[in-house]
Amino acid sequence: MIKNILLHFLILCPLFYGCKGKEPSTGASAPNSAPIAGYDDPHRPQFHFSPAIGWMNDPNGMVFYEGEYHLFYQFYPDSTVWGPMHWAHAVSKDMVHWEHLPIALYPDSLGYIFSGSAVVDWNNTSGFGRDGKPPLVAIYTYHNMVAEKAGRKNYQSQAIAYSNDLGRSWTKYPGNPVIPNTTNLPDIRDPKVIWHEDSRQWVMALAVRDHLQIWGSKDLKSWVHLSDFGKEHGTHKGVWECPDLFPMSVEDAAKWVLLVNINPGGPTGGSGNQYFVGQFDGKNFTLDADFAPFVKDEKAVWLDHGSDNYAGVTWSDVPKSDGRRLFLGWMSNWDYATVVPTQLWRSAITLPRTLELKKTPAGYRVYSLPVKELETLRTQTFKLTASGELFADNGATVMTDIFFPKEDFKRLSLFSEGGKVHISKGSVYQLKRIWK
């Protein structure tokens, strides 16, 4: 079979290999630190967000407010290996160019600050608002390392903090934890919260090792366990983490999508991000009948087929227009995240993506492409960058992989297996780096 393929090649500076001989760097400031040399160090991505110094993993608390996209992320400022977790903070006007801000949340006597989410409390249900303006509320997991080392199982609990100054400073709720761990079970974490209009309540998806719990609250402070999902669905080859539950629409259909990250057990080894399509009534998530056969007997439907898109969740409070969602993931893998050859800093975030639900002969599926701000990166059939992020079939097939070249790429080879490919047209672009 001969296939005609239209290709657009984007020659970024290769992933994790800094641009050389380009525009000079003006330097970047690490959270709560003096300026460092800049973003020209070897293996530094030039088109993805990465921390100036220290360790990074899961993106957290992604929320849009007053014209700013807020990105918080798991961060250890004192080393390039995992350590006591903080929430670091950056903001952007376009999800492409980022400004580092001071660390938002520090560990305290209740534990390290693990993953979670953030929302705009538009109706001030929490009572944290001030001067008639809604607060930003962060919902996160406490990890009590002292309790874990002592052999206790209930070392994770859920807590909240709020901000009244556009996320520049945060106050932890004195009544934390808002969901204490009374189950004596480990791995209860990563709360993702949304406002569910039909039931007039906040809804939380919470990962509980091999399944999810769904919780409800009227004020973000008092929570009630509503239901469970997942013990009989999807793959269970690793621990379930970083869930997300949100509505999507396509044509005249209204659906709900549930994302679940898993480690290990990904489609090509390492970590991965599976998803489910169904309905949510304010209490229970139920799989669509045509989707259920794909997620039984440890089968999964994957959002990304590579090894290096993990802990991915969607943005909160983005103005709704067409039923799509904005998505970011951690561009790394727990199998090798601690041994990658970088200096001063560790890890990066994927390109921001738009998720779109489409109806296919096999049922509803989630497609993924770079956000509109990265329109140059889109093609109808196939998109490739030297960063290892591949978007094929107009977003139906996506793959993210990282690699660490020892020298700049100068050649690109194309080949096929099991057939012939006719290249009808090709375009090459050199893109400007996002860092000044």
Catalytic (active-site) positions: 58
Bridge partners, 193 (sequence order): 204
Distance from C-alpha of 89 to C-alpha of 112, rounded to nearest angstrom: 16
User: CA angle, corner 419, sides to 417 and 420, nearest 5?
Assistant: 105
d(CA 261, CA 379): 27
CA atoms in the 13 A half-sphere facing the CB of 97? 6
- Cross-strand bridge partners of residue 222: none
- Using alpha carbons, list the distances in angstroms from residue 186 to 172, 240, 358, 411: 23, 12, 37, 48
Whether 342 contacts 16, CB under 8 Å: yes
Burial tier of 14 (Cβ tally within 10 Å: 0-12, 13-18, 19+):
buried
Peptide bond into 405 cis (omega under 30): no
Q: What is the 3-state secondary structure (H, E, C) of 234-283?
A: CCCCCEEEEEEEEEEEECCEEEEEEEEEEECCCECECCEEEEEEEEECCC
State in Å, rounded, how far the first CA of the chain is from the last one. Answer: 47
Residues 6+ apart with CB under 8 A from 399: 304, 305, 306, 388, 389, 390, 392
CB 345 within 8 A of CB 81: no
Backbone Cα Rg of the chain:
21
Q: CA angle, 348 as apex, 344 and 353 as ends, to 5°?
A: 165
Tokens standing for residue 323? 């039923």
| Assigned token pair, 135 | 């607060």
Angle of CA points 81, 86, 88, to nearest 5° = 95
